[in-house]
Amino acid sequence: MMNPNPAVAKKLENRADELASMASSMFLESQQGEALGQHTRNLHDEWSHHFRQRVLELSAALAAGEERLFTSRITWSRRAMRARMKDHDPIKESLHSLRAAITAEFGAASLGDALACIDMAINDYGGQLPEEQVSQLDPGIPAQRLALLYLQSALEGNTRQAMEVVLEAIDAGMTHSEAITRVLLPAQSEVGHLWHIDHITIAEEHLVTTTTHRLMTVIADRAPRKPDRGKTAVSASIAGNVHDTGIRALAYLLEMDGWRSIYLGSDVPRNDLPAAVHFYDADIVLLSTALSSQLPRLQESIAAIRETCDDDVKIMVGGNAFWDAPDAWQKLGADGYTGDASMAVQMAAALGDTATRH
């Protein structure tokens, strides 16, 4: 594991656009007419967008000292490309182009950690990819079978029927929190998996997501609430993160657990967070990030809250960005992390009890 290198990370982030354009030109020139998929007039712009994301992922890995934040994204891209049966896999060659662009811009000596991280991804490229499962859900488990039935109805466009499937299970004895944690969140994870292996479209994913958000609101409105804790939780997805299903669910779960739960939504600007935390007199803040490239913004958001808020507010973090580096939260200045919603409610209670007021 490498040490955090925020100085190099910042260099890359500040020059992301220039590096992306340079790498795109190098890459397209190196291909010399090889099959690159659907040719468009904006091929250079499309690859520049790809390389910009790679630069930001690399920057995030260096800032956190977690090379897995970069190498795991390469593996993710390879698996997505394999699922779409691409005859030509340009990802490895694109890594060489990215390396060449960084070397040309900064020199090999000054950005050694960045080049080492890219080399690690290149060297790992020969590894065998795991076989993809068609489904991550097990129909032999009652809650996951229910999640599959919910997904089937939703993807067929029968959203009312999909909602009724879950609401009837609650009427039959499933708790409201279980419906969210054991049915809706696994169903949402399954949707992401199905898109990754090219079994559904983005439009179909959006249909399920909007249905899930709608149903969570209904479930939360009907749910009994535990006695008031006298504590306030503020939840948000950080700037740049428009994926908010998990943090939205957690805000509802905390409300059921007796918290005064303030949900700020997705893509909340860094500079607005401290004011909200102060105004709502929060005991704990829960922040979500979806992509590893967003981790620097998360760190900045945490720092802004620490610098501005007088109270000893606790900060929890979560989201898909931590899947491959579950220990990265400690380097970002947070007080806790878990990838499980039920555990997050328990952790919030424990951290909330330690928060002090001035």
Q: What are the structure tokens assigned to 27, written together?
A: 């890459």
- Average pLDDT for residues 328-344, to the nearest whole number? 92
Boundary residue ending a domain (126, 159, 177): 126
CATH at residue 169:
1.10.1240.10
At residue 258 the predicted structure's pLDDT band, cuts being 50, 70 and 90, is: very high
**pLDDT > 60? residue 161:** yes
Residue 87, pLDDT score = 54
> Does residue 214 lie in a domain region?
yes
Structural domain containing residue 292: 232-354
> Does residue 134 lie in a domain region?
no
- Average pLDDT for residues 337-351, to the nearest whole number? 94
Residue 75, pLDDT score = 87
Q: What are the structure tokens assigned to 182, written together?
A: 């054991």
Give pLDDT tens digits for 164-178.
Answer: 999 999 999 999 999
**pLDDT > 60? residue 73:** yes
Residue with token string 């973090």: 317
Burial class from Cβ neighbours inside 10 Å (0-12, 13-18, 19+) for residue 193 reads middle
Of 289, 275, 179, nearest to 244 by C-alpha is 289
Q: Could you tell me which residue, 296 or 180, shows the higher pLDDT? A: 180
**pLDDT > 50? residue 250:** yes
Residue 310, pLDDT score = 66
**Lowest model confidence (mean pLDDT) among 36-50, 61-75, 152-166, 323-337:** 36-50
Q: Are residues 30 and 117 in the same domain?
A: yes
Q: Are residues 96 and 197 in the same domain?
A: no
CB 246 within 8 A of CB 212: no
At residue 2 the predicted structure's pLDDT band, cuts being 50, 70 and 90, is: confident
Q: How far is CA 132 from the centre of its chain?
A: 20
Q: Are residues 152 and 216 in the same domain?
A: yes
> Does residue 227 lie in a domain region?
no
Q: Are residues 263 and 327 in the same domain?
A: yes
Give pLDDT tens digits for 125-136.
Answer: 766 777 777 788
State the total domains in the chain.
3
Mean residue pLDDT across the chain: 90
Query: Sheet of 232-237: strands edge to edge?
Result: 260-263, 232-237, 284-288, 314-318, 336-337
Boundary residue ending a domain (154, 189, 222): 222
At residue 220 the predicted structure's pLDDT band, cuts being 50, 70 and 90, is: very high
Dihedral of alpha carbons 142, 349, 333, 286, sign:
positive
Give pLDDT tens digits for 267-301.
Answer: 999 999 999 999 999 999 999 999 989 999 999 99
Residue 182, pLDDT score = 97
Burial class from Cβ neighbours inside 10 Å (0-12, 13-18, 19+) for residue 227 reads exposed
- Average pLDDT for residues 258-266, to the nearest whole number? 97
> Does residue 105 lie in a domain region?
yes
- Average pLDDT for residues 327-354, to the nearest whole number? 91
Residue 311, pLDDT score = 67
DSSP state of 86: -
> Does residue 137 lie in a domain region?
no
Entry pTM: 0.86
CB 332 within 8 A of CB 295: yes
- What's the CA gap between 151 and 165, in Å, rounded? 10
- Average pLDDT for residues 183-198, to the nearest whole number? 94
Give pLDDT tens digits for 87-127.
Answer: 556 888 999 999 999 999 998 777 889 999 999 999 887 66
SS3 letters across 41-65: CCHHHHHHHHHHHHHHHHHHHHHHC
Q: Are residues 62 and 99 in the same domain?
A: yes
Give pLDDT tens digits for 14-64.
Answer: 999 999 999 999 998 887 655 444 454 578 888 999 999 999 999 999 988
Q: Is 197 helix (H, G, I), strand (E, B) or coil?
A: coil
Residue 85, pLDDT score = 63
Q: Are residues 248 and 309 in the same domain?
A: yes
Q: How many CB atoms lie within 10 A of CB 257?
A: 19
CB 177 within 8 A of CB 256: yes
Q: Are residues 40 and 111 in the same domain?
A: yes
CB 96 within 8 A of CB 146: no
Q: State the Cα angle at 192 between 186 and 195, rounded to 5°.
A: 140
> Does residue 132 lie in a domain region?
no
**pLDDT > 50? residue 264:** yes
Q: Are residues 58 and 117 in the same domain?
A: yes
**pLDDT > 60? residue 186:** yes
CB 311 within 8 A of CB 355: yes
**pLDDT > 50? residue 210:** yes
CATH at residue 94:
1.10.490
> Does residue 190 lie in a domain region?
yes
Boundary residue ending a domain (196, 222, 248): 222
CATH at residue 333:
3.40.50.280
